Amino acid sequence: MRKFIKFLVRFILVLLVAATVFFFWASSSTLEESEYETLTTLEHKATPENDSIFSIVTYNIGYLSGMTNNLPVEKPKELFDENLEKVLVETAKVNPDIIAFQEIDFNASRSYHINQQNKIAELGYKYIAETVNWDKTYVPFPYWPPSMHFGKVVSGQSIVSKYPLKNHERIVLERVADNPFYTDALYLDRLAQVVKVVLNGKEVVVINIHLEAFDKKTREKQLAAVIELFQKYGATNPTILLGDFNSDPSYENAAIEKVLALPNVGNAAFSSEKYAFTFNSKNPLHRLDYIFYTRSSIEYVSGKVLTQFGEASDHLPVEMKFKLK
């Protein structure tokens, strides 16, 4: 009996040591912190086709996993290849001047280590602002079966542009306070990505966000900080706030109402009486993605939800065409 107890104690200790080693290894980063915020100008020439009416798109690209996002199902490389091709074809048709992405993979096992940002930039986007919000050696999610684990993830938010970008900034928003330590160590950062786009000599501030999806109180706090940023930059520059807000106006005490109530702020492809949905892309029932702008300095031309992108992501993109006043 004593031998059995000793064996059991040793076995449990080995398991604990192994679990601890795995935890610290899995939650470790793969990049230097200085690599989390980069501004790049590519060599290829990009010649914008107009200089009066501009277009901008926000797109939670869902790392090109389509409707399989976060589900414990097989995701073959063909799925990602087909979704990337769909995005490339439709983006070329829409031909926006600026695109803000959320949930885009730079180097991740789950999407077969394809830098999705760089592939899309090859369409003629010379200027790239990249922010990493998830850098983990091994993410054990979805939890079961282990063969479905994300593994290595380097992912984040990105802005690609045909016009020069400057003054890039990565702002980390408040984390979920009551997440268990093991969840928090493997969780992503929620970001406000800020960059200036030079259009006709004017510096237009673009704020690209991806707010907390699962904890309402944290999402509200994050949005309060984002509104402060929006108002700060909007006081001096034409400013566009866009991204995945993870809030539909129909939700009870919806966080997004705080932005909708702001004075002198426009909202692309949206009216309180009727608005197009962006989630999910297969059966859209919620509006989670928005493009807000300062009415005093930006003239709205048109906007729409780009349903033609189909199920390349679980979200649909939103486009806005605009002029500068």
For 41, the token pair is 């100008």
Q: Retrieve residue 22's tokens.
A: 């795995």
**pLDDT at res. 50:** 65
Domain regions of the chain by residue span: 31-324
Q: Is 103:61 a contact under the CB 8 Å cutoff?
A: yes
Residue 285 burial class via C-beta count within 10 angstroms: exposed 0-12, middle 13-18, buried 19 and up: exposed
Of the candidates 213, 269, 276, which has an alpha carbon nearest to the alpha carbon of residue 56?
A: 269
Lowest mean pLDDT among 10-19, 149-158, 293-302: 10-19
If you average pLDDT over residues 17-27, what whole number do you get? Answer: 91
Cβ atoms within 10 Å of 115's Cβ, excluding its own? 17
| Residue 26 in tokens | 């899995």
Q: Which of 317, 299, 300 is nearest to 308 (CA)?
A: 317
pLDDT grade, residue 262 (50/70/90)? very high
Question: Parallel, antiparallel, or unpaired: how do β-strands 127-139 and 98-105 relate?
Answer: unpaired
Across the range 171-190, mean pLDDT stands at 95
Q: Which fold has domain 31-324?
A: Deoxyribonuclease I; Chain A (3.60.10)
Query: Which of the residue ranges 37-46, 172-181, 280-289 would you say has the lowest mean pLDDT?
Result: 37-46
CB 135 within 8 A of CB 192: no
> What's the rounded Cα separation, in Å, for the pair 44 and 67?
34
Q: What percent of the chain has pLDDT over 70?
A: 98
Average of per-residue pLDDT across 17-29: 92
Q: CB within 8 A of 279, min separation 6: which ones? A: 285, 286, 287, 288, 289, 314, 315, 316
**Residues contacting 246, CB < 8 A, separation 6+:** 210, 211, 212, 213, 219, 288
Q: What are the tens digits of pLDDT across the range 55-73?
A: 999 999 999 999 999 899 9
State percent of the chain over pLDDT 90.
88
- Give kind and range of the element (H or E) at residue 294: strand 289-294
Give Cβ neighbours of residue 187 (< 8 Å, ≥ 6 apart). 175, 176, 179
For 209, residues 6+ apart whose C-beta sits below 8 A from its C-beta are 102, 157, 173, 190, 191, 192, 193, 222, 226, 241, 242, 243, 244, 245
Q: Is the pLDDT of residue 208 over 80?
A: yes
